[in-house]
Chain A
Amino acid sequence: MTSKLTSIEGVAVPLLWDNVDTDALVPAAPHKRINGGGRDRLREVLFHEFRFDAAGQLKPEFVLNVPQFAGGPILLAGENFGCGSSREVAVWALLDYGFRAVIAKSFAEIFEQNAYKNHLLPATVDAATHARIVGELRRPRPPQMSIDLVARHIAIDDQAIGSFSADEMGLEMIVQGVDEFALTAQYVPDIAATQRRLTEACPWLADR
């Protein structure tokens, strides 16, 4: 998590559903089965109920199982991606599977914050840009997408498609390959001063 990331390039995998929830991303039952197996086994359970049927066979029609999209680092979703739980395994599973970015019309808040903290790019695009991307993906051979994290631009086969928005601090952490722990360490005195001030005015905040 210490390397800089200024661009993401590759095939975009279209999963154009709205409200993809954290139970869809990492369902409880298979996750419990690999419990203790570590984050490097989460690829097995990502979208488990959609990738596999009840007998454990691959569902060929699910987009992650379509050969031409295999290994694509960018997931293209609809609205409100990642709604539901705060479980960070939803982000870890996407990363472990090989995704580096999710492009969506909107994200659920906790998922979005978890994504930044793990340097998975949650790129928000407006409806027009989203529609343009979807249109480009209708080609027989999936086109190469590139995301420029510094310029906040998306291109397909070197042709500019549009821009994306992202949280300023979150994006900076991804681009610079840093996280907020080091930043916060500088502000420990500010935190202490704030807590002192609060406790003087409201002693019950510190009582326990």
Chain B
Amino acid sequence: MPRTLFEKIWQPHTARTYGTRDLLTLDRVFLHDMTSLPAFETLRERNLAMADVGRTLAVIDHTVATAPGRTEETYPVMAPTVRAFRREVTERGIPLIGLGDPAQGIVHVVAAEQGAVLPGMTAVCGDSHTCTNGALGAIAFGIGSTEIAHALAYQALWLPRPKSLRVTVNGVLDPWVSGKDIALAIISRFSTDGGTGCAVEYAGSAIRSLSVEERMTLCNLSIEFGARIGLVAPDDAVFSYLEGRPRTPKGAAFDAAVSAWRDLASDDDAPFDKEYAIDARSIAPMVSWGTSPEDAISIDGAVPDPGTARDRSQRSRWERALVYANLEAGKPILGTPIDVAFIGSCTNARLSDLRAAARVVDGRKVAPAVRALVVPGSSGVKRQAEAEGLDRIFRKAGFEWHESACSLCAALGPDVVGRGKRCASSSNRNFENRQGPGSITHLMSPPMVAAAAVNGAITDVRTFA
């Protein structure tokens, strides 16, 4: 019986079935400072022990400051939470990558860098962007705090069995079109709940041509497509990405793993519940205009007119989004002035993202009225970028160069955009107030953010660079 990639991982991890739900065993549970404390409370209330501390890893990233020299105490509002989190994971013997640790960073970036997620694994974390590491050919997904408690207690979760959806992107991409643009194109075309209830497999020649880091960006945005799980079949690019990482098998064990991982692909005639396709050549650099990730258009497009909405509820949502974003229907998005430029987040702050943005910035200056900042995805990314001199390029242009954490993506630490301010952002969500009260977000790729920072306005990186 031909099987999909998803089924090849899900089925052997299923311990029991109950109606439409499967009891899925978990290979890894990642924890961070924002959502874990209630899970520990649940364990205490129920007098439950952790099943397998060796399969856990904790990272501090969500609620901390990113200014140079920051510590757990720099942001007093959340410092008690961070302290309590560190104390509890330490007492429980959970390996912790905290501030000051050379491996610290955003949990999903760190998990991949450490080789803590491998092809064929099931991995969970109390963060919806856990789907990022589906790029390595794993089933990785975000869970709530009660689910964290259950995962820690039993190393398993009851889950509705997802439907399978394949999104195929064939063709050659424009050099300025990245994983971010593909994701925004998919979400804008098939809507922000187009993948709800599905495990999404991204396939096709354009997907195979993406670097592993770009696949991470693409899979990261699966949740913005409604899907808890997004994945790509692992290939040689993934295997060489993983080789030699701290938690990756070594020597003969690695070779044995790779030969097993080669089977992790959907069989040719495997049936999918749903199939979508996009022509790679039809995708231009994308930018969001409104307050949902589906509100994204080509950079040379116009802000849509609510009169052209598909139905009344979309029309009223667009009308509210236009008011919130302070934009006029029918006007080009190009040239919209910005106040803040943010390169960061688990979506787009890996080394290749910083390199691509630095190439655009090199020898130029950030527009005078713009606050621009780079918040590397991990401390490792930051060090490597510094070794390559990228920090000097950014600083010379007028960018701030920060320590690694979630920062302006979710405004859970001290970094906020400001009321009524407009941010060109490499992050993942453009919801109202997402980047702080009254913030207006335009999602785009890191090179597009870089171009916007220099011009002080939303810019087409293809003609700018």
Contact = CB atoms under 8 A, between A and B. Distances in A.
B103 to A, nearest CB: 14
Contact of B143 (A35, A86, A179): A86
A188 B412 CA distance: 37
Contacts of B21: 167-169
Interface in B304-349: 313-314, 316-317, 320
A195 interface: yes
Contact of A194 (B25, B35, B55, B433): B25
Given A88-B38, A117-B147, A205-B121, A80 B196 contact: yes
A144 to B, nearest CB: 26
A146 interface: no
A201 B263 CA distance: 13
Nearest to A81: B193
Contact of B46 (A23, A118, A181): A181
Contacts of A203: 249, 253
B27 A205 contact: yes
A29 interface: yes
Nearest to B127: A86
18 contacts: A21-B292, A21-B429, A28-B412, A32-B412, A35-B81, A79-B313, A86-B35, A86-B126, A86-B143, A88-B144, A110-B142, A168-B20, A183-B18, A191-B15, A198-B25, A206-B55, A208-B116, A208-B247
A191 B154 contact: yes
Interface string A166-208: 0111000000000111011101101101110110011111111
Contacts of B20: 167-169
Contacts of B257: 202, 204
Given A17-B317, A109-B197, A35 B25 contact: no
Contact of A169 (B116, B158, B434): B158
Contact of B193 (A80, A87, A187): A80
B432 A49 contact: yes
Given A36-B80, A85-B128, A110-B144, A198 B12 contact: yes
Contacts of A23: 429, 431-434
B160 interface: yes
A84 B433 CA distance: 13
Contact of A198 (B13, B228, B292, B432): B13
Interface of A: 16-19, 21, 23-24, 27-29, 32-33, 35-36, 49, 54, 78-80, 83-88, 91, 106, 108-110, 113-114, 117-118, 167-169, 179-181, 183-185, 187-188, 190-191, 193-195, 197-198, 201-208
B260 A29 contact: no
Contacts of B412: 28, 32
A140 B51 CA distance: 56
A197 B12 contact: yes
Interface of B: 12-16, 18-21, 23, 25, 27, 34-35, 38, 46, 48, 54-55, 63, 77-78, 80-81, 116, 118, 120-121, 126-128, 142-147, 150, 153-156, 158-160, 192-193, 196-197, 223, 226-228, 247-249, 253, 257, 260, 292, 313-314, 316-317, 320, 410-412, 416, 419, 429, 431-434, 436-438
Contacts of A110: 128, 142-144, 223, 228
Contacts of B431: 21, 23-24, 84
Contacts of B196: 80, 106, 108-109
Contacts of A114: 144, 146-147
Q: Which residue, of A33, A118, A187, has the highest number of chain B Cβ atoms within 10 A?
A: A187
A27 B223 CA distance: 19
Nearest to A197: B12
Nearest to B228: A109
Contact of A208 (B55, B142, B154, B159): B55
B192 A80 contact: yes
Contact of B144 (A27, A86, A204): A86
Nearest to B130: A86
Contact of A190 (B23, B77, B120, B437): B23
Nearest to A109: B228
Nearest to A30: B437
A109 B223 CA distance: 9
A18 B275 CA distance: 24
A132 to B, nearest CB: 16
A184 B410 contact: no
Contacts of A19: 192-193, 292, 317
Nearest to A188: B154
A47 to B, nearest CB: 11
B110 to A, nearest CB: 14
Contacts of A167: 20-21, 160
Nearest first, the 10 A-B pairs at minimum CB distance are A114-B144, A88-B144, A86-B142, A194-B15, A80-B193, A117-B146, A190-B15, A23-B431, A86-B128, A88-B145
Given A114-B146, A184-B156, 11 more contacts: A17-B313, A23-B431, A23-B434, A29-B437, A79-B313, A86-B144, A180-B158, A181-B46, A202-B120, A202-B257, A206-B54
A24 B432 contact: yes
A88 B146 contact: yes
A33 B226 CA distance: 29
A86 B151 CA distance: 15
A167 B159 CA distance: 10
B429 to A, nearest CB: 6
Given A32-B78, A35-B80, A169 B144 contact: no
